[in-house]
Amino acid sequence: MSMSRDQADQRQIPQPIRPDGAGGIDTGPRDIWRDLENPDQLVPPVTDNGLLPNMVFSFSDTHMKLNFGGWSREVTTRELPIAKDLAGVNMYLKPGGVRELHWHQQAEWAFMISGSARITAIDAEGRNYIADVGQGDLWYFPPGLPHSIQGLEHGAEFLLVFDDGNFSDLNTLSISDWMAHTPRSVLAANFGVAEEAFCHLPKDQVYIYQASVPGSLESQRIESPYGSVPLPFSHRLMAQKPLVSSGGTVRIADSTNFQISKKIAAALVEIKPGAMRELHWHPNADEWQYYLSGTGRMTVFGGNGAARTYNVRAGDVGYVPFAFGHYIQNIGNDSIWFLEMFRSDRFADVSLNQWMALTPKAIVESNLCAGNELMDALNPVKQPVVKFPRKDKAD
């Protein structure tokens, strides 16, 4: 439903006009709510230039697939064409709801947003893994390994990330789909039972279905004769000690501390109100972002004078191509929490501040016509930095 003009007047209708007079009024038709949410796209900073593609897409604008055991929605290259390296699925399972036994050609990385779930998997050596994961936990299943997910007593909402931008969760390899398309005589021969044992097989892929809430982890544990997997498929990210700077925190999970995660590296970032994730870039991969809370803005610099500013908020996916410079600034009243993910085994970033600080002073001064105030502010650091714009704003 669109907002009436009387309602909009109460919100002070935003217009595409800069303080210097550039631009002009937009008399409509228009989506005023959307303009209010995206002030830096309605009135771009004067530093924006060129024709960079869209790099933000909201899960709220995706197709929702509803099943009796939960729901799912996804952001792939279909929704966000620039995002070629990674795709994401937001999924909810009711208490007892099951994402059926399945496997992928891609690696699966996951972050538990709320609730809890039970995950199961086996590897190619026949070693199994059964574990419960809660809010803030991660899991990772290497390509080709079969697994399942089931919501526990309060259900589970989570984010799944795959190392292929063209991935779709509806095109995965599922046990129900395979058996539905295999002759019953073959199934009977394979399992050593009569064909009648397969009379009630689903006719199509089940995908997500409703079942009972499982019993305790101990009651469901099955000991494999080949032992357990050598590296755990889950990781308690929030149990990590964060990297702390004046404006927020960063927790990094990659193959150095979540050893099974060979194809996707990630960081969970907190940006306090008024603070920013400093100017930086990533030298090893594109960045796929998911915003968990808060309101911010991000300017992406693509070289040759091209730069574009995007507004971001909870539920949005952001994307920054390999080596493009960017920052994320908190422009709201609450902390921003977001995930940044990479198709890589290692997290890596390059700080603009650090680069300048570790370059001979004379060349930086001559390159930028820089004065003493800027040169004195440069400070080499060894970690991703979230900071306040002025030293007197630090806590």
| Span 68-115, pLDDT tens digits | 999 999 999 999 999 999 999 999 999 999 999 999 999 999 999 999
Indicate the range of 115-119, 144-148, 378-382 predicted with least confidence.
Answer: 378-382
| Span 301-334, pLDDT tens digits | 999 999 999 999 999 999 999 999 999 999 999 9
**Looking at residue 382, what is its pLDDT?**
80
Mean pLDDT, the chain, rounded, equals 95
User: Domain 236-388: which topology?
Assistant: Jelly Rolls (2.60.120)
The Cα angle at residue 378 between residues 319 and 285, in degrees rounded to 5: 25
Task: Name beta bridge partners: 74.
Answer: 89
Measured distance CA(282)–CA(169) in Å, rounded: 27
The structure tokens 């097989």 sit at: 201
* Helical (H) or strand (E) element with 367: helix 361-368
The Cα angle at residue 324 between residues 322 and 325, in degrees rounded to 5: 140
Antiparallel, parallel or unpaired: β 325-330 and 386-387: unpaired
Secondary structure of residue 318 in the 3-state scheme: strand
Backbone torsion region of residue 126, taken as left when φ is above 0, otherwise alpha when ψ lies between -120 and 50, otherwise beta: left
Catalytic residue among 100, 108, 278, 340: 340
- The structure tokens listed for 394 are 């630090």
Closest by Cα among 158, 341, 381, 135 to 254: 341
Answer whether the bond into residue 95 is a cis peptide, omega within 30°: no
Q: Is 196 a catalytic residue?
A: no
Measured distance CA(326)–CA(307) in Å, rounded: 9
**Looking at residue 257, what is its pLDDT?**
98
| Span 158-171, pLDDT tens digits | 999 999 999 999 88
Contacts of 6 (CB under 8 A, 6+ apart): none
Q: Which DSSP state fits 228? A: B
Contacts of 129 (CB under 8 A, 6+ apart): 119, 120, 121, 122, 123, 228, 229, 232, 233
**CATH: 3.40.120.10, 2.60.120.10, 3.40.50.2000, 3.30.300.30. Which one for 62-235?**
2.60.120.10
What predicted TM-score, i.e. pTM, was given to this entire model?
0.94
Antiparallel, parallel or unpaired: β 276-281 and 386-387: antiparallel
Domain with CATH 2.60.120.10 in the chain: 62-235, 236-388
**Helix, strand, coil percent values for the chain (each to nearest 5):** 20, 35, 45
Residue 270's Cβ-side half-sphere holds a number of Cα atoms within 13 Å equal to: 14
Note whether 173 and 141 are within 8 A (CB): no
